[in-house]
């Protein structure tokens, strides 16, 4: 019961932070706030003593007016928690839960101990931990007002713990003019949809495929046309990076074994958790056999892709 209440409080706080950032008027301020969260996550995940973490987090909040504004909004929302949408059980538990957070050499320090509105968000970031701060970032970056600034957001994603083992080439490709995934209006009828996919511009097809990953809640991007990464898109899963290769082939032009074998090398070279090859055609029997030898390779042919339109995939 205690754990469920605590997790409920954390989920609510993630929403409070995300809402404060999403409601910022200037897009550049939202990017600053995302960068601040990335820096705060590094502090929280570090081996510093609690008091040093508090000092550094406090310095980060005081570094920019935009961040102070977010912190002030969060503080106000938390101080008014009694009128929030939280269930009564969580409203009752919130003060005691926060007061029990060890801060200074094992001594508990509640909200009142910080003596100022900006001290409250510091306490909350420590309470949420690195995983909770990541959840705030993920919630914010789905906002249409923030996504156009994907180049700045990528810097935060790259420093995510889940990207720790990713290759330098992958991180460089993410920084090199990343492109946001994009939805495209598809015909309702299956035959027309097949024809539409076959006629798509190859780069539009890449943006369209990566939008499935984005819609599934994964941080996703399309790599620029000039990249030599060996992948057309990258998504960040809880288990690590996913690389995606898109083959907008004619219906008779099956994807063969050499493509699969080469892609296996791409997955291993970049320390990816999983790799998807998505095509508008089919795979040869040799390609399917080759993919079956690795648990990291997923093949998506035209039939499966059409199923993605009916039932959204999970990754």
**Where do the domains of the chain lie, and which CATH numbers do they carry?**
2-159 (no CATH), 165-310 (3.40.1350.10)
Q: Are 244 and 278 within 8 A, CB to CB? A: yes
Work out whether strand 274-279 and strand 107-108 pair parallel, antiparallel, or are unpaired. unpaired
Higher-pLDDT residue of 78 and 228 is 78
Task: Report which of 70, 80, 173 is spatially closest to residue 121, judged by C-alpha positions.
Answer: 70
CA distance 2 to 258: 54
Count of CB atoms within 10 A of residue 109's CB?
Answer: 18
What is the per-residue burial (b if ≥16 Cβ within 10 Å, else e) of 254-276? bbebebbbebbebbeebebbbbb
Average confidence (pLDDT) over 23-28: 80
Query: Regarding predicted confidence, which is higher, 157 or 129?
Result: 129
Q: Tell me, what's the pLDDT at 284?
A: 97
pLDDT digits over 30-59, tens only?
Answer: 878 888 888 898 888 888 887 888 888 888
d(CA 237, CA 273) in angstroms, rounded, equals 8
pTM, 2 dp:
0.62
265 token code pair: 């090398």
DSSP result, 85-103? S--HHHHHHHHHHHHT-EE
């Amino acid at each position: 019961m205690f754990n469920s209440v605590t997790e409920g409080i954390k989920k609510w706080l993630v929403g409070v932070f995300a809402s404060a950032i999403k409601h910022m008027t200037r897009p550049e301020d939202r990017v600053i706030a995302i960068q601040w969260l990335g820096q705060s996550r590094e502090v929280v995940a570090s081996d510093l003593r609690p008091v040093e973490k508090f000092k550094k987090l406090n310095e980060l909040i005081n570094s920019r007016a935009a961040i102070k504004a977010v912190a002030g909004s969060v503080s106000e929302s938390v101080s008014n928690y009694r009128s929030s949408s939280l269930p009564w059980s969580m409203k009752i538990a919130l003060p005691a839960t926060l007061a029990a957070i060890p801060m200074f050499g094992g001594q508990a320090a509640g909200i009142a101990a910080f003596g100022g509105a900006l001290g409250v968000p510091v306490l909350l970031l420590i309470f949420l931990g690195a995983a909770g701060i990541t959840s705030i970032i993920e919630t914010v970056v789905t906002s249409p007002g923030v996504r156009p600034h994907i180049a700045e957001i990528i810097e935060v994603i790259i420093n995510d713990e889940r990207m720790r083992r990713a290759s330098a080439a992958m991180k460089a490709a993410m920084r090199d003019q990343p492109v946001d995934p994009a939805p495209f209006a598809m015909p309702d009828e299956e035959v027309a949809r097949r024809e539409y996919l076959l006629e798509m511009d190859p780069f539009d097809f890449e943006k369209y495929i990566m939008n499935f990953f984005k819609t599934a809640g994964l941080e996703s991007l399309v790599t620029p046309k000039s990249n030599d990464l060996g992948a057309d898109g990258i998504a960040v899963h809880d288990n690590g990076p996913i690389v995606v290769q898109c083959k907008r082939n004619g219906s008779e032009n099956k994807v063969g074994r050499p493509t699969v074998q080469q892609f296996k090398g791409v997955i291993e070279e970049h320390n990816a958790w999983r790799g998807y090859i998505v095509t508008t055609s089919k795979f040869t029997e040799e390609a399917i056999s080759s993919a079956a030898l690795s648990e990291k390779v997923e093949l998506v042919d035209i039939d499966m892709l059409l199923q993605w339109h009916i039932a959204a995939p999970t990754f």
